[in-house]
Amino acid sequence: MAYLLQQLANAVPLAALYATLAFGYSIAFGVTKRADITYGAIIAFAGQVLLLFTDMAYNRLWLVLPAAIAIGVFASLVYSVGAGIWIGRSIMQPLASKSPNTVMVAALGMMIVLMETARLAANTRAIWLPPLLNDTVTFWSDGVFQVTLTYVQLLDTLLMCAIIAIGALIVKRTAWGRLWRAVIDDPLAAELCGTNASRVFLVSYAAAALVATCCGILATFYYGSMDFGAGLMFGLKVLMIAAVGGYSDPLRSAGGAAGLALVETLWGAYGSFIWRDLAIFSLLVLLLVMSRRERVVL
């Protein structure tokens, strides 16, 4: 029983991460209407920029660790969100309006550019952060086995839930949220009603890039590093994770992603770790095929 409770506790931070990733991705998907693995590349790129600048500030500028991390976070926000805005304005927006299917090819190219840029900047070396907020909080104990989470897991979970809550409030209760829903339903009709669909596209893509950057930073704090090849894995996972709840509603997408995180954690605890990714991707494909309801976009 205690082991099961611990696995359920372990699923909480992963569920928060997947839910936040799916929420941000659905914002961008609403305006592009095409699979975009650039989102996953921005997540990995944000983590790698954080590591690069933290390492530089700590080892070359001789700053204390909190100051070095603050510089890394600032640089990650500037570079990653800036890259997302540039990609959205210069590449995705023109392609989405003129040749939508090429968005997927362009996304693959952008992923390679971001990953190779980070790899070359780091000289193909892995950079690790020291353990952060690694003390544990005990939630339950039977005298032998304790159910615990670390402070960094709890902090990451709270921050990611806050991102989802703020994002949901903006989408549901603000004028921008109404404009976003109008543009994703019919951009031409929204334009005829006076909405600047191009501006909504750029703001949506920038918002998705900001969410991806925050997730990349928090995931790097949690895991301690970010692999150069993580962009492709994040891109594919987020693409299919968001599909569990449906792309049309960010909150539904986040809920489906959280459920998938629970399944993945329990499989890792009770099933074969070697077959975990195959099983999860197979389940995602099955769910996507069975629950697909969005209209076909030609």
Mean pLDDT, residues 32-42 taken together? 85
Q: How confident is the model at residue 147 (pLDDT cuts 50, 70, 90)?
A: confident
Other C-beta atoms closer than 10 Å to the C-beta of 266 total 15
Looking at the predicted structure, is the pLDDT value of residue 196 above 50? yes
Looking at the predicted structure, is the pLDDT value of residue 297 above 80? no
pLDDT in the model for residue 194: 84
Q: Are the CB atoms for 71 and 49 separated by under 8 Å?
A: no
- The CATH architecture to which 2-130+150-291 belongs is Orthogonal Bundle (1.10)
Mean pLDDT, residues 67-80 taken together? 95
Looking at the predicted structure, is the pLDDT value of residue 144 above 80? no
pTM for this entry: 0.89
Instruction: Give rounded-to-5 percent helix, strand, coil for the chain.
Output: 75, 5, 20
Length of the chain: 298
Mean pLDDT, residues 99-121 taken together? 86
Mean pLDDT, residues 39-60 taken together? 91
3-state secondary structure of 228: coil
Looking at the predicted structure, is the pLDDT value of residue 112 above 80? yes
pLDDT in the model for residue 298: 39
- 141, containing H or E segment: strand 136-141
pLDDT in the model for residue 296: 42
179-195, pLDDT tens digit by residue? 998 988 888 888 888 88
Q: Are the CB atoms for 41 and 115 separated by under 8 Å?
A: yes
248-286, pLDDT tens digit by residue? 688 888 888 888 888 888 888 787 777 777 777 787 777
Token pair for residue 233?
């894995």
Q: How distant is the alpha carbon of residue 126 from its chain centre?
A: 21
Q: What percent of the chain has pLDDT over 70?
A: 93
Residue with structure tokens 């209209």? 295
More confident residue, 157 or 286: 157
More confident residue, 220 or 235: 220
pLDDT in the model for residue 155: 93
Spans of all domains in the chain: 2-130+150-291
3-state secondary structure of 96: helix
Mean pLDDT, residues 98-126 taken together? 85
Spatial separation of the C-alpha atoms in residues 138 and 213, rounded to whole Å: 30
